[in-house]
Chains A and B, each alone.
Chain A
Amino acid sequence: MDEHDLRKTARQIRLLDLETVYRAGAGHIGGEMSAIDILTTLYFHTLSIDPAQPDRADRDRFILSKGHTACALYVTLAVRGFLPEEELNTFLQPYSALNGHPNRVKVPGVETNTGCLGHGLPIAVGMAKAAKISGENWRVFVLCGDGELQEGSNWEAVMAAAHFKLDNLTLIVDNNRLQQGARVSDTNKLAPLGEKLSAFGWHSVDIDGHDISQIAHALDANQQQPGLPTCVVANTFKGQGISFMRDRVEWHHKVPDVAQYQQARIELEADLP
């Protein structure tokens, strides 16, 4: 898929995400809009995966550690063919497989049950270590929120990944600089994130997390540094693509009313002429 098609797909996923959250009356739309360009690039460009064989042993692994943005993952998996698009209508409904946080037992393509923050990176370290022990060349990607990195368990895993020389592991930080209640910098600041990861022995790059070509380039296998895990600090905006949500903390989990929903649709549809 070329860059134009990836952007079109990202727009389609944003529209479906908006519609699904609006219909369900709940979700985490701000953090979903910030992550969708990354998810699109992973699922339609980078990851070696097969919807017909979601458990294929040599598949690349992806963990959505910021599990509260599950809706964006479900939409991406549906568009990629892992689940029927109609199933998105069940999001958050009683007994739906599509819980507010992803469940690997119920949703094909989900690798582990996230929702508790700070869990994805340790699991990704274990996955990458398994590939190394077996001498296999599948890769592991994990997407964390920036606020999520306040959880100490991440830093245990950051040290382990460097120690184990896991160059098959890529951490992508959705660096939208907002957490649930406030700006990250006003809560427990993480900056300078890239420098911190470098100091821990990682290869670190900063990119525009809404520029598909920059994301694709940063995730390319030829960008891996031998012996070093990679951290891609993807600078993003919460609510990206929808003017009144963009960079606004209250859109962490606010739900649009009918006028806001229609306005958001118009803006997203106009995004790609």
Chain B
Amino acid sequence: MSLSPKLHDCRDAFVASLQREAAQNSNIVAVCNDSVGSSKLSGFATQWPERLINVGIAEQNMVGVGAGLANGGKVPFVCAASCFLTGRALEQIKADVAYSQANVKLCGISSGMAYGELGPTHHSIEDFAWLRVLPGIVIIAPADPTETQGAVEFAVQHEGPVFLRLSRVGVPDIFDSEHLFVPGKANILHEGDDLTIIANGTLTHRALDAARVLSGQGINARVLNMATVSPIDTDAIVAAARETGAILTCEEHSVHGGLGSCIAEVVVQNHPVPMKILGVPGIFAPTGSANFLLDEFGMSAEGIQAASRDLVARKGG
């Protein structure tokens, strides 16, 4: 019997990386909406009080201020609960950040259903859909602390808009510390040729767990970690379709417009194969924690295994 792996809140890796980068680059500033605590920015605020801009509960202003800071030569990391950042300030994200090509880093904290029991007002299961239709924003949902660090380092060196979709829901280590994050490139975490399971963020470790069990049942699943949702790794998706003949996607997001939809767009236009999209099934979620709801919506390791078996059966038919 194996010990349960240690789980990490990726906000810790986020702020540690941000502070390391900020120590090297005095242009880095943090902007938030009364979210110093929930964005874990108190260390940053203590070290660089003049570089922490808290605009209060005012997300539209927050994103505009971020765009203005970028115009003035700063590298703003705009941090807020993802539901309010992307929902309340969507027009500012579109016009001031994406369309204006402003060097703003949008950091959606506690994305997905991390605020589980607080209910759908606080869930951010629409953010991939809303932001991926805006040209020029790099969208990244890291799966563990190492990938979070890589995403922050990329955001600092990339000139242009980035959306980091972060969670507070515990995840185990997936990558070793030598792992190099490459934006726009998916990673094969488990090899197989019966189907491919594609996931990101809090779903990657669940997909990996499912694949390991499936191996013992005679189903060899490839697992692709697709942290970058935009630009999507078309080559990895087409290769998965061609080489494994079926694709299952898993995401802490609505089944409409998110990772699964992105992948389906690539698959149907390049190499159509059977697909199944797991996510929040087009409803406002009932009360429950993120982990409860993910299980409930068929994304427990067992649920992913069952969906995989169904898909492989469809493929055979």
- Which positions in A face B, CB cutoff 8 Å? 57, 61, 103-105, 111-116, 118-119, 121-131, 133-134, 152-153, 156-157, 159-160, 163-164
Contacts and interface: CB of A to CB of B under 8 A. Distances in A.
B117 interface: no
A19 B100 CA distance: 28
A233 to B, nearest CB: 21
Interface stretch (B89-97, B149-157, B225-233, B304-312): B89-97
Contact of B60 (A126, A130, A153, A164): A153
B68 A156 contact: no
Q: Is the interface of B mostly helix, strand, loop or mixed?
A: helix
Given A125-B68, A126-B64, A126-B67, A156 B55 contact: yes
A53 to B, nearest CB: 15
Interface string B268-279: 000000000000
Given A112-B71, A122-B62, A160-B58, 20 more contacts: A111-B71, A115-B95, A122-B61, A122-B96, A125-B64, A126-B76, A127-B71, A130-B74, A133-B51, A133-B74, A153-B64, A153-B92, A156-B60, A157-B61, A157-B65, A159-B56, A160-B56, A160-B61, A163-B56, A164-B53
Contacts of B68: 112, 122-130
A121 to B, nearest CB: 8
Chain B interface residue bracket vs A: 20 to 34
B77 to A, nearest CB: 13
Contacts of B71: 61, 111-112, 123, 126-127, 130
B251 to A, nearest CB: 30
Interface in B16-73: 29, 50-51, 53, 55-56, 58, 60-73
B67 A134 contact: no
Contacts of B72: 61, 126-127, 129-131, 134
Contacts of A127: 68-69, 71-72
Contacts of B292: none
Contacts of A103: 99
Q: Is the interface of A mostly helix, strand, loop or mixed?
A: helix
B101 interface: yes
A123 B60 contact: no
Contacts of B102: 112
Contact of B69 (A111, A118, A130): A130
Contacts of A57: 73
Contacts of B58: 156, 159-160
Given A122-B92, A130-B71, A160 B100 contact: no
Given A112-B67, A123-B71, A104 B100 contact: yes
A123 B62 CA distance: 9
A77 to B, nearest CB: 17
User: What are the 7 closest A-B residue pairs judged by CB atoms, nearest first?
Assistant: A126-B68, A130-B72, A122-B64, A156-B61, A156-B58, A126-B65, A153-B60
Contacts of A118: 60
B100 A125 contact: no
Nearest to B61: A156
A132 B56 CA distance: 19
A124 to B, nearest CB: 6
Contact of B65 (A113, A125, A131): A125
Given A134-B72, A156-B61, A160-B56, A126 B99 contact: no
